[in-house]
Amino acid sequence: MCASAEVSRGERSAPVRRRRTLIVSASMGAGHDTVAAELARRAERYGHEAYVVDVLTLLPAGLGTGLRAWYQAVVRHAPWVYAGVYGAFLRGGPGRRPSGVPLARLAGDRLLGLVDRLGADAVVSVFHLAAQLTGHLRARGRLRVPSAVCLVDFAVHRQWLHPGNDRYLCLTEAAAREVRRSLDTAAVATGPVVAPEFLAPAPGGDRWRERFARHAPGRPPVLLSAGAWGAASRPDGTAALLAGAGYLPVVLCGRNHRLLQRVRGVPGVLALDWVEDMPGLLSAAHALLDNAAGQTAVQALAAGLPVIGYRPLPGHGLEGVRRMAELGLTEFAPDPAALLRSLTGLSASAPARADRARALFRADPMAEVAGLAGPAV
């Protein structure tokens, strides 16, 4: 009887094992890593321990680094090359195209080893190569824990899609329907993943407004996004157009020092390198010109800033910008005259678009992941 009591006390005092989630990102720019970091932060809310890994580091030595360097060079200097790659490998539609599985398989053993060492209860992919990898391993029974894909693009391309994954978490219901049609796999619309600072009043906004007023009094500041890598089509020309029309062009050059120096030579422009206070900047601007339908555009929608797609990058940038406009979240300006008309008409069109944008942020993808992983044990 005493022994039984001792067991009972031991059972009561045994620590609860927290669930562990492995998030597989990719250092292709900053967008995927930004989403991964926010998912990891949210995991704490569900009692999960979250771990983030860059899928490029799981590839054989040098391959991931080379792939990233090639992609960065192409989107900066030869975007038409990426357009060809996108058409051959990624674009949806009928007919067979090469799969990303052969490349993804090279990271398979390392990913499985990491899952085992961490004791992960679920894996979440936020990059399409990772989605191919987890789907492949799951379909063959090698990955024994559930796999979710957090699909961060408005336009779903085929390299995100693999029937082996258990669930897709999509930005919009339209994207979720497309996944279900393509894969007959569970797909739900959870909305974009942004840090809570973008959805609340930004304390840094006043500082940015003061800076803009000192630089160009009375000129509405219009942001030009070039992403973390500073990849944009003729941003100096766009900046000159805006300055000539009475706006303050604020060019976000990311980590592209050459672009920063080039744009600084345009009269009337404010050129910025890497910005830490994006919530404050977005809250103080008049509009964002977006060329990729990526994380900066999503953050702007969360902050209530009007977004206009202009001179998008080819491939998924162009398709994403068009899809956002089709959904009524943004406008798409196909030429300089249309851009100036869009900026002039913002006061009339912005409220309805802002309402549709707010409706995007409907749910928390980590709630779906927590459901897949199961309760703490």
The pLDDT tens digits for 58-79 are: 999 889 999 999 889 988 888 8
Q: Is the pLDDT of residue 39 over 80?
A: yes
Identify whether residues 168 and 231 lie together within a single domain: no
- The pLDDT value given to residue 376: 60
pLDDT, greater one: 43 or 3: 43
Identify whether residues 232 and 276 lie together within a single domain: yes
**Cα distance between residue 26 and residue 150, in whole Å:** 13
Identify whether residues 182 and 327 lie together within a single domain: no
The pLDDT tens digits for 334-373 are: 999 999 999 999 988 888 888 899 899 988 999 999 988 7
Identify whether residues 37 and 186 lie together within a single domain: yes
Classify residue 208: in a domain, yes or no: yes
Identify whether residues 260 and 346 lie together within a single domain: yes
DSSP character at residue 220: P
Identify whether residues 240 and 96 lie together within a single domain: no
Is this prediction's pTM over 0.85? Answer: yes
Classify residue 251: in a domain, yes or no: yes
- Report the amino acid identity of residue 267: P
DSSP character at residue 245: T
Is the alpha carbon torsion for 267, 269, 274, 275 positive or negative? positive
Identify whether residues 161 and 183 lie together within a single domain: yes
How far are the Cα atoms of 98, 132, 139, 149, 268 from residue 179, in angstroms, in the given order?
Answer: 19, 14, 17, 11, 45
* CATH code, domain with 160: 3.40.50.2300
Identify whether residues 164 and 266 lie together within a single domain: no
The pLDDT tens digits for 277-316 are: 999 999 999 999 999 999 999 999 999 999 999 999 988 8
179-184 LR contacts (CB < 8 Å, sep 24+)? 179/151, 182/92, 182/156, 182/158
User: Angle at CA 142, nearest 5°, toward 141 and 144?
Assistant: 75
pLDDT, greater one: 34 or 377: 34
- Report the amino acid identity of residue 67: L
Classify residue 260: in a domain, yes or no: yes
Provide the domain limits for residue 163.
Answer: 11-194+362-373
Average pLDDT, the chain: 90
Please give the distance of CA 249 from its chain centroid, rounded to a whole number: 24
- The pLDDT value given to residue 18: 84
Identify whether residues 367 and 218 lie together within a single domain: no
Classify residue 5: in a domain, yes or no: no
- The pLDDT value given to residue 6: 34
**Cα distance between residue 56 and residue 24, in whole Å:** 10
Query: Which of these, 151, 252, 131, lies nearest to 193 by C-alpha position?
Result: 151
DSSP character at residue 331: E
Classify residue 4: in a domain, yes or no: no
Identify whether residues 91 and 111 lie together within a single domain: yes
Q: Tally the domains of the chain.
A: 2
Identify whether residues 354 and 366 lie together within a single domain: no
* CATH code, domain with 349: 3.40.50.2000
- CB-CB contact of 20 with 344 (8 Å): no
